Amino acid sequence: MADKEKAKKQVPLRLSATLYEELSRWAEDEFRSVNGQIEYLLTEAVRRRKKSKSREEDA
């Protein structure tokens, strides 16, 4: 699994200029690249989704 996590997929992504500028400013505030910021945000969203799904299953 470690190899799978390290492997990176390239995904073409189209963003509006406005959204890109917002992400760029946010990334700069957190000392990340825009790509790094997008990856961080997606990782957090998936983590939160998994966490909320496990809570639903426990209920």
How does pLDDT run across 43-58, given as a tens digit for each residue?
A: 999 999 999 888 777 7
Q: What is the pLDDT of residue 1?
A: 57
Q: b or e along 1-11 (b: 16 or more beta carbons within 10 Å of the residue's beta carbon)?
A: eeeeeeeeeee
The structure's pTM equals 0.79
Tokens of residue 58, six digits: 């426990």
Q: What is the pLDDT of residue 41?
A: 98
Query: What is the pLDDT confidence band of residue 59, given thresholds at 50, 70 and 90?
Result: low
Task: State pLDDT tens for residues 1-51.
Answer: 567 778 999 999 999 999 999 999 999 999 999 999 999 999 999 999 999
3-state secondary structure at position 14: coil
Distance separating alpha carbons of residues 19 and 40, to the nearest angstrom:
16
